[in-house]
Amino acid sequence: MMNLNSVVVLIVSIMLSACNYSEKRVSSVWGKQGFNIPIVDLNQEKQMQVIVDKEAGQYLGHPTTVLLEDNKTILCVYPKGHGKGGIVYKKSSDGGLTWSDRLPTPESWATSKEVPTLYQTVDKDGISRLLLFSGSQDYVGGAIRMSVSEDQGESWSELASIGDYKGIVAMADCIPLRTAGHYLATFHIRGPENSMILYQVYSEDGGLNWGDPEEIYRSSIAHLCEGGLVYSPDSSEIAMLLRENAKNYNSQIMFSNDEGKSWSAPKPMPGSLCGDRHQAIYLPNGRLLVQFRDITPWNRPGNEHSPTEGDWVGWVGTWDDLKHGYEGQYRIRFKDNKKGGDAAYPAAELLPDGTLVCTAYGHWDKGEEPYILAFRFEIEALDRIKNNRE
């Protein structure tokens, strides 16, 4: 007689074989869970932590940051609410050591319906701009909107639609391409029949205008979304690290060697990279730091929960680790989240002196609403902690 786990595996396998994907299939049914690399726990390292914003009784979440051209000013935006709500705007003029009061914003920022995201772009003439995106989950009347700053964030235009399409966590990531002024960005929507559709869009003028969305992946079984983009060290290839929101599989990864014109079939990442909303940044010595919310796929047989489940975590490894599915060097727990998996959506900036400024939201105090917290550290300090504990 088959046990419950075997029955679940059989059912999912039948569903996969019956599914008529217009996109590439997931290359493996599950992906390996668990991990054997060390964890560097920063939860009690108070000297590294800076409160960006906290308000009694008010949910503050999902921050995005950008480091300005002076290499010391950091801008941060985040919503008053879970994934939606009026956008709050703050600035640090000293590399994240201290933060301003909340800054004035355009009236339309109060109408944000999704997680705001913030990017700096440069057009073909070398003109730098800041772009703030606000998506929409509305099935009728929703649209991705954008606000633009031409003066390094001192003033902003009102939010305005970029096209006749909506998007969730728009833009989940946005990176420059080889041609000056050309950019690639990603977002997703919920589609018919319990599907999730992953899209990309291009701009050829530094982000002022965006083309029609192009579908990358669609599935009712593997809900791939919130793609974090990172180049290979030689810039010849782009990796997209993906949340699997249905929690049937590990997080997934795809690769493109033609700037998104085509993508490899998604494949599961190791358990050490399993989670939501991956954001990657290169470290001074060429390694990668990938931050994310630590979540394991609870809808699969034999689920093996992470020891830092639901927390704000990071992963230190190399491009080769990503490419070949290796576990990496070590994990970081930045902060213990006190309420389920409602945390992280992290951002990271690297200062010229090697200081990292990593920012996220979470329920950092039991029984209180989430707030915005930043860590300031050098990766060598974490290397030493890891080495001293081995």
Instruction: Give the lowest-confidence range in 131-140, 156-165, 208-217.
Output: 131-140
> How does pLDDT run across 114-125, given as a tens digit for each residue?
999 999 999 999
Residue 181, both tokens: 């002024």
Element (H, E) at 168: strand 168-176
User: Tokens at residue 296, please?
Assistant: 């394991």
Phi, psi dihedral angles at 72 (to 5 degrees): -145, -20
What does the pLDDT look like over 348-384, one tens digit per residue? 999 999 999 999 999 999 999 999 999 999 999 999 9
**Burial zone of 129 (CB within 10 Å; 0-12 exposed, 13-18 middle, 19+ buried):** middle
Q: Residue 235: helix, strand or coil by DSSP?
A: coil
Are 65 and 148 contacting, i.e. CB atoms less than 8 angstroms apart? no
pLDDT reading at 5 higher than 80: no
Domain definitions of the chain by residue range:
33-42+51-389
Spell out the residues 6+ positions from residue 197 whose beta carbon is closer than 8 angstroms to its own: 188, 189, 190, 191, 215, 217, 218
Task: Compute, in degrees rounded to 10, the torsion defined by CA atoms 226, 227, 228, 231.
Answer: -170
Q: Are strands 39-41 and 330-335 parallel, antiparallel or unpaired?
A: parallel
Long-range contacts: 201-204, Cβ < 8 Å, 24+? Answer: 201/163, 201/171, 202/177, 202/260, 203/121, 204/179
pLDDT band at residue 334 under the 50/70/90 scheme:
very high
What's the whole-number average pLDDT of the chain? 92
The CA distance from 364 to 371, in Å, is 7
Q: Model confidence over 189-201: pLDDT tens digits?
A: 999 999 999 999 9
Q: What is the mean pLDDT of the segment spanning 129-134? A: 98
Q: Return the H-helix or E-strand segment holding 386.
A: helix 379-389
Residue 167 is classified by DSSP as B
Cβ atoms of 238 and 265 within 8 Å: the answer is no
If one counts every other C-beta atom within 10 angstroms of the C-beta of residue 385, the result is 17
Q: Answer yes or no: is pLDDT of 8 > 50.
A: no
Query: Can you say whether residue 141 is alpha, beta or left, with left for phi > 0 and alpha for psi between -120 and 50 degrees?
Result: left
Average pLDDT over residues 227-233: 98
**Each residue's pLDDT tens digit, 46-74:** 999 999 999 999 999 999 999 999 999 99
pLDDT above 90: residue 129: yes
pLDDT of 166 > 50? The answer is yes
Give residue for tokens 């081995």.
390
Q: Provide CB contacts within 8 A for 47, sequence distance 6+.
A: none
Contact between 339 and 347 (Cβ < 8 Å): no
| CATH of region 33-42+51-389, choose from 2.40.160.40, 2.60.40.2310, 3.40.50.1100, 2.120.10.10 | 2.120.10.10
Looking at residue 2, what is its pLDDT? 37
Question: Mean pLDDT across the stretch 63-91?
Answer: 97
Half-sphere exposure of 345 (CA within 13 A, CB side): 28
Q: Which residues of 255-293 are buried (b: 16+ CB within 10 A; e: fewer)?
A: bbeeebeebeebbbbbbbbbbbbbbbbebeeebbbbbbb
* pLDDT score, position 141: 65
Q: What is the mean pLDDT of residues 64-93?
A: 97
Over the Cα atoms of the chain, what is R_g? 20
Nearest-CA neighbor of 153 among 106, 86, 216? 106
DSSP string, 301-338: TT----TTTTSEEEEEE-HHHHHHT---SEEEEEE--S
pLDDT number for residue 302: 72
On the question of pLDDT at 321 being above 80, the answer is yes
The whole-number pLDDT of residue 301 equals 73
Model pLDDT for residues 282-315, shown as the tens digit of each residue:
999 999 999 999 999 988 777 778 999 999 999 9
